[in-house]
Each structure stands twice: as C-alpha cells, then as structure tokens.
C-alpha cells in the first residue's frame, strides 16, 4: 500500500492505493477508499497592495444665486450629460449615478446655467457630495 495526499477543489485528502503486480490484485476488487481530510498547507501571504491615493475633493465655492446639486446616495458617476456653460431647464438630466446596479438620473432642480461640474466620469461619490453648481 502507498499513501498519497490528493487535493480536490482546495480540500486535501489522504488516500491509500494498492499496487498491482502482474495485473492482478492481491485483495478483492472492492475499492476501500476512506478519504480523511488533511490540513492543507497554509497559502503564502501575498504582499499587501499599496493603498490607492485618495481623491482630493476640491472645495466648491458658491456665490449668491447659485444652487448646488448634491449626490442623493453613494455610488459611481456613470455618465456626465452636461458641460460647464450649458443652459439647462428644470428636469433636464445632468448626470447619471450608478448605485446598486441601477442607473439613477440626477436632474436639474431649476432652470439655469451649469457653472461648474465638481466630479468626473467614473468617480465614486458619497451622499451629499457636491456634483454640479447651477447659476
């Protein structure tokens, strides 16, 4: 009998295998495999990746008469539909925020001109982050 450790789907098993001499077994043909779990060797720890630099949020300066459009929920900016200087009407789509696998349209709350866009496509935002300023 020879013992082997076999790994299947990440689990290690110790099995005994009988050698056959001349094509005939010395024992009956009934297989007797009783897998016993064996502790798998600990995987080598991969070096920790360096933390990604955090995006610096620039301070948004708002003057009288301007309105800030904030993120209503955390998510990722999927698409920006306007540019600085564009004229928008109440209800126009400013950008699309992807959250929980859904595309949420962020709409202009009033008529105005896009004074600044304070995010980028693909950026991650939190609730309350300032996205667009309207004049």
For CATH 2.40.50.100, list the domain ranges present in the chain: 67-134
Q: For residues 104 and 101, what is the distance between their CA atoms, to the nearest angstrom?
A: 10
Instruction: Report the predicted TM-score, pTM, of the whole model to 2 decimal places.
Output: 0.54
Band of residue 72 on the pLDDT scale cut at 50, 70, 90 = very high
Comparison of pLDDT for 56 and 10, the residue scoring more: 10
CB half-sphere exposure, 126, CA atoms < 13 A: 2
67-134 is classed CATH 2.40.50.100: yes
- Residue 17: which residues within 8 A CB-CB, separation 6 or more? 1, 2, 3, 4
Q: For residues 59 and 67, what is the distance between their CA atoms, to the nearest angstrom?
A: 15
Q: For residues 17 and 7, what is the distance between their CA atoms, to the nearest angstrom?
A: 15
pLDDT digits (tens, 9 = 90+) for 17-44: 887 776 655 555 555 556 666 666 666 6
């Amino acid at each position: 009998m020879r013992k082997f450790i076999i790994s299947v789907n990440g689990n290690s098993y110790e099995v005994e295998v009988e050698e056959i001499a001349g094509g005939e077994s010395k024992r009956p043909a009934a297989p007797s495999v009783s897998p016993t779990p064996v502790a798998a060797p600990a995987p080598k720890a991969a070096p920790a990746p360096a933390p990604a630099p955090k995006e610096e949020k620039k301070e948004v300066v708002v003057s009288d008469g301007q309105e800030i459009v904030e993120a209503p929920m955390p998510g990722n900016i999927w698409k920006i539909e306007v540019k600085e200087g564009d004229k928008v009407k109440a209800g126009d789509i400013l950008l699309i925020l992807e959250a929980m696998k859904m595309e949420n349209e962020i709409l202009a709350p009033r008529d105005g001109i896009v004074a600044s866009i304070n995010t980028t496509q693909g950026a991650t935002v939190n609730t309350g982050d300032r996205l667009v300023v309207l004049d």
